Every structure is written in structure tokens, then in C-alpha cells.
Amino acid sequence: AQRVTQPEKLLSVFKGAPVELKCNYSYSGSPELFWYVQYSRQRLQLLLRHISRESIKGFTADLNKGETSFHLKKPFAQEEDSAMYYCALSGLETSGSRLTFGEGTQLTVNP
């Protein structure tokens, strides 16, 4: 079975502060990990995926297989980063790009 855990439902930081959204997963094979984001009144969209090793909007995430984690980090949070963030996983045992999502973390960046 596969599972994604986001331990924080709510996270509040001040503008300019570092932010880390935690994600842990359980999966027996080689997973592919993603972060999806939903800004207010917008649709759910891909932020980044671990295989791309990109930095998107200043966010990075490193897959740590030893700790089974894929935490999302940004050194200096901006007010426009306020949104709902979902960590998701897909694996070889699941069909196509079927995703297993965590419960999400609501990030609020205060001025």
C-alpha cells in the first residue's frame, strides 16, 4: 500500500521567513513524488516533481529515500505563496499517472 502524510494542516509564517512543508510517504518500490498547489479560486496545479530537480517560484524539494520524505522548502516566503499545498505520489504499481495525495497543508504568509 502507498500512503502520503502531511503532518501539518495549517502553517503560518511571516513574509521573508523560511518555510518548510513536510511530506512523508510509504511505498515499497521506487516512487515519483510531486507537490501540487491550489491558490485561492484557482484550480489544482503541479508545482514541482522530484525527477525534474527544478526550482519553481523559489521552491525546492529533495527526495530523501532514507527518511522517505519529500519536504518542500523556500528560503524567503512571499505573501503570494499563501495557498493549499498537496504532496502526492505515484508508483510503478499504480496505473498510469494515478496519484495518491496527502491531506494538504494550508500555508499562510503574513505581511
Partner 1 sequence: GAGVSQSPRYKVTKRGQDVALRCDPISGHVSLYWYRQALGQGPEFLTYFNYEAQQDKSGLPNDRFSAERPEGSISTLTIQRTEQRDSAMYRCASSPTGSGNTIYFGEGSWLTVV
| Nearest residue to 47 (alpha-carbon basis) of 26, 27, 61 | 61
3-state secondary structure 25-89: EECCCCCEEEEEEECCCCCCEEEEEHHHCCCECCEEECCECCCCECCEEECCCCHHHCEEEEEEE
Q: In angstroms, what is the minimal distance from the CB of 85 to partner 1? A: 10
> Residue 15 or residue 68: which is nearer to partner 1 going by CB?
68
Q: Which cell numbers in the block locate residue 90?
A: 505515484
The residue among 31 and 102 lying less far from partner 1, judged by its C-beta, is 102
Q: How far is the CB of 15 from partner 1 (least distance, A)?
A: 27
Least distance between partner 1 and beta carbon 50 (Å): 13
Question: In sequence order, which residues have a C-beta less than 8 Å from that of residue 1 and are 6 or more positions away?
Answer: 26
Sites of contact with partner 1 (CB under 8 A)? 4, 6, 9, 32, 43-46, 49, 86, 88, 95-104
Residue 14 CB, nearest approach to partner 1 (Å) = 25
Q: Which is nearer to partner 1, 28 or 97 (CB)?
A: 97
